[in-house]
Structure 1
Amino acid sequence: MSSYIYDRTRPYLFDLRTDDRPFQHMCLLLLFNRPSLTQSIDIDYRPIAIDEFLRDLCYMLMGVSSQTFEWNEIHETFALKSDINVLGYTQATIERFSMRYIQAGNHFNVIKHYINRSSRNSETENEFCHSLRCYLRYIQKSIAIYDISKFSLVKFAAKIDPILCSL
């Protein structure tokens, strides 16, 4: 009869997700199962599903803060909240994916603020603001028509990027 010896070496999954702190902590907890370890680890994240993340991306593109993205009044930019962890993706992947959409959301907000604060002294400026308002409405309606609940990151980018290319 042969006996099986449990090997407590570093799991191979650590190599794939070296920058995913919450995942590493959970693996350590499962691997060593020490009560002192569970008490000393501060897991400070909120897991959300990919469809919630993509929904919040769409909200941000429409200029609305959400559970994932918030408007920073000081820097006048949207920011990904640091306590969010999208299930199945590393934090670095989500941050890289979000950057171009954050930039687009910032551009939308600049346009929206310009429209709302414009003095409209001339008819030309009034017509220009009307055109910008129509453009924003078109972009928002184009984003809203998709059922993003079944999208992956790649499919979301394939559907939304052509809409945003004019920005």
Structure 2
Amino acid sequence: MNNVCCYVFCTVAAFSSSINICKADQLPDVFNNSAKERVVLSTQPYFTRPQSAIAELIALYEENGKTNHLCTVGYRWDDGHIMAFAHWQEAKMLALWEGSTDEDRPDTSLALSRRHWVFGKDTVKTAAEINGSTYLVTDKYWQEITDDCEKNGEHYTVAPFALNSSE
């Protein structure tokens, strides 16, 4: 893999995005009605540069030589906490996105996330199969969030792009 600290430079032309937010839709059942509402992540302070964060994730996995499709979705709880995700279609990956408070490197927040769940590798059929793991999620959890993201999230199509390294 390329050095995670590489700087990724992408032109805005490499991205196309769209937003399809429907507040009337029900939130994923896996949150057990604890999430209050869906939020548009690109309007939230810790998620203001989604294209750069997405490019950094794609570069980490060395998939920048082809077109990729991702969506992002966030959920707000009553206490104001936001839980955010990115779904990368080609990689069959759901990433927990914690956002960034690092003003020097805000773009690494998605690539360096604590959780990148790949369907079938990091998912199990039942909650009992998690068996104390802090990393696994159920297929249902993964599928409900990715379905909601695809239906209601912000969508990004990322054209192939070149990497420029500072080293």
TM-score bin, normalised by smaller chain: under 0.3
What is the TM-score normalised by the length of structure 1?
0.27
**Higher share in helix:** 1
What is the TM-score normalised by the length of structure 2?
0.27
Greater C-alpha Rg: 1
**Higher share in strand:** 2
